């Protein structure tokens, strides 16, 4: 699979005119290596159960070795392993329903959405069931408090509401509810409301209700209690020591991914390969160390504290949004932390492009490019009606035009002295996505250690919740 490895090219940023000499990354190498050793030690300490110094609390380093652990367990325990159980639940649901409503917010939702947009057919939900390989449609909810959207979902389920008793699988739906704490208001509210609809669709007292609800949560808490009271037999756990935004390669992301029909073993294999690469490759050849080092140097030397993730094509927007959350919640603390911003090109060249070309010089562009398409290239084609002037490009294929746009944009940035780097993905397979997600999680914790900010925990998110609850209680 080595040809399927992602790579990082910083050459569009490592230029003397940007204040960066080719040697600068090598100069930073001792610091990066010492932070890598710390991140590896964090994972070891976490697995050993401590001891953890006060300065390191919280230490939610459980995500790091999780892919390796799940794969090992699968090899040893086969059908009894968590991977096999997740797959079995996903396959059971796929056989029983045509839509899975996945409830969750933040880290309990964004990873699954990223996987769906990157790896599934772009019109997965619109395809007839057979063209979806009989996998359910996936609808995300519980990620906001939007009345009309929820009403809209009721309309969508209308054909199914009252029909979970129907013999036609195309009419049936189920709920996957994901919340580590089990008490997040957005998700809990949506779950209460949709559970009643699901109950109504099954008919009173139907024992299958419990089979049509699959929770992913902690080992205790309100959701766990509710699921137990419902009689749900398959309750998946968000492992201890794995924070929400680091949980995509736990049941939180793996269960929805398996329901969509993605290969979760390949996802985990990709992440495990990234772990090995991170642990062993030297600075200059290590995507995690190099990406972190260049971002850090550009921020400290040139004031580039806006990290622009420039995705090319449509399928990586949700990966970018997942990363926006990861970086913001992990390092946006103590009035520090770079500002992530995902753009989707060429779309956003027609909206944000002006600012990125001529606005403040506070941005480092990281392009994400994809080597090969899944489908045959579409050709522009010759037309007898050449009023659009496109016959000159008649033999061009869409990937050629996207490539020209990518190169043209980066040239324009370069000509105006604006730094760019590129994270190259050979394709959008599960194996590659596993690498990318693990790489960005490792880079985030590595940077935290480099700048002295604990990348775990999100104390700032509590403030709004406290106020909202007080307002709701009328205090």
Kindly list the residues in this chain that would bind ligand PA5 in the complex (CB under 6 A).
Answer: 105-108, 179-181, 184, 187, 243-245, 329, 458
Annotation marks residue 465 as catalytic: yes
- CB of 104: closest distance to ligand PA5 in angstroms? 6
Give dist(CA 431, CA 444) in Å, integer.
Answer: 20
CB closer to ligand PA5 out of 187 and 409 = 187
Q: What are phi and psi of 442, to 5 degrees?
A: -65, -40
Give the CB-nearest residue to ligand PA5. 244
Task: Report how far Cα 262 is from the mean position of its chain's Cα atoms.
Answer: 14
CB closer to ligand PA5 out of 63 and 278 = 63
Give dist(CA 213, CA 230) in Å, integer.
Answer: 9
Q: Across 147-200, where does the E strand assignment appear?
A: 173-179
Q: Which two tokens stand for residue 176?
A: 């996957």
CB closer to ligand PA5 out of 86 and 177 = 177
- CB of 19: closest distance to ligand PA5 in angstroms? 34
Q: What is the DSSP letter of 426?
A: S
CB 418 within 8 A of CB 361: yes
Q: What are phi and psi of 217, to 5 degrees?
A: -160, -175
- Which residue in the list 329, 356, 363, 430 is annotated as catalytic? 329
CB closer to ligand PA5 out of 25 and 102 = 102
- CB of 56: closest distance to ligand PA5 in angstroms? 17
- CB of 324: closest distance to ligand PA5 in angstroms? 11
Q: Which two tokens stand for residue 261?
A: 């029909």
What 3-state DSSP class applies to 180? coil
What 3-state DSSP class applies to 245? helix
- CB of 97: closest distance to ligand PA5 in angstroms? 23
Whose structure tokens read 């996903």? 90
Any idea what the Cα angle at residue 194 is, between residues 193 and 195, rounded to 5°? 95
- CB of 102: closest distance to ligand PA5 in angstroms? 12
Cβ burial 364-386 (10 Å sphere, 16+ → b, else e)? bbbbbbbeebeeeeeebeeeeee
Direct distance between the N- and C-terminal alpha carbons of the chain, in angstroms, rounded to an integer: 59
Annotation marks residue 269 as catalytic: no
Which residues are catalytically annotated?
A: 329, 350, 465
């Amino acid at each position: 699979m080595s040809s399927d490895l992602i790579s990082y090219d910083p050459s569009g940023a490592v230029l003397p005119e940007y204040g960066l000499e080719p040697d600068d990354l090598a100069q930073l190498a001792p610091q990066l290596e010492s932070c890598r050793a710390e991140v590896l030690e964090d994972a070891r300490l976490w697995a050993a159960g401590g001891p953890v110094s006060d300065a390191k609390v919280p230490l939610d380093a459980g995500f790091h070795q999780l892919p390796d652990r799940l794969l090992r367990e699968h090899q040893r325990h086969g059908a009894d392993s968590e991977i096999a159980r997740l797959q079995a639940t996903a396959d059971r649901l796929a056989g029983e329903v045509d839509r899975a409503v996945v409830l969750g917010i933040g880290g309990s939702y964004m990873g699954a959405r990223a996987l769906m947009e990157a790896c599934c057919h772009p019109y997965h939900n619109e395809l007839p069931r057979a063209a979806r390989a009989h996998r359910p449609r996936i609808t995300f909810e519980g990620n906001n408090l939007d009345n009309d959207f929820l009403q809209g979902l009721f309309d969508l389920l209308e054909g199914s509401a009252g029909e979970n008793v129907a013999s036609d699988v195309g009419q049936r739906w189920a709920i996957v509810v994901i919340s580590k704490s089990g008490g997040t208001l957005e998700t809990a509210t949506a779950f209460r409301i949709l559970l009643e609809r699901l109950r109504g669709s099954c008919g009173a007292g139907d024992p299958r209700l419990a089979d049509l609800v699959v929770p992913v949560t902690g080992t205790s808490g309100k959701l766990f209690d509710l699921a137990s009271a419902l009689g749900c037999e398959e309750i998946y756990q968000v492992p201890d020591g794995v924070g929400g935004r680091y949980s995509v390669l736990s049941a939180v992301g793996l269960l929805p991914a398996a329901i969509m029909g993605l290969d979760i073993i390949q996802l985990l294999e990709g992440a495990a390969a990234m772990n090995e690469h991170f642990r062993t490759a030297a600075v200059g050849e290590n995507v995690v160390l190099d990406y972190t080092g260049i971002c850090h140097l550009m921020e400290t030397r040139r004031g580039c504290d806006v990290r622009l993730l420039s995705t090319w094509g449509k399928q990586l927007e949700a990966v970018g949004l997942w990363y926006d959350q990861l970086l913001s919640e992990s390092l946006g603390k103590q009035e520090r932390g770079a500002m992530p911003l995902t753009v989707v090109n060429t779309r956003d060249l027609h909206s944000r492009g002006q600012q990125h070309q001529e606005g403040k010089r506070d941005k480092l562009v990281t392009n994400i490019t994809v080597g090969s398409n899944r489908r045959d290239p579409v050709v522009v084609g010759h037309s007898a009606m050449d009023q659009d002037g496109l016959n000159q490009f008649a033999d061009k294929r869409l990937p050629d035009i996207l490539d020209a746009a990518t190169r043209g944009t980066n040239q324009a940035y370069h000509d105006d002295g604006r730094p760019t780097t590129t994270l190259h993905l050979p394709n959008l397979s599960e194996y590659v996505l596993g690498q990318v997600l693990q790489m960005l999680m490792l880079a985030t914790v590595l940077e935290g250690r480099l700048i002295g900010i604990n990348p775990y925990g999100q104390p700032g998110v509590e403030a709004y919740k406290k106020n909202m609850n007080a307002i709701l209680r009328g205090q």
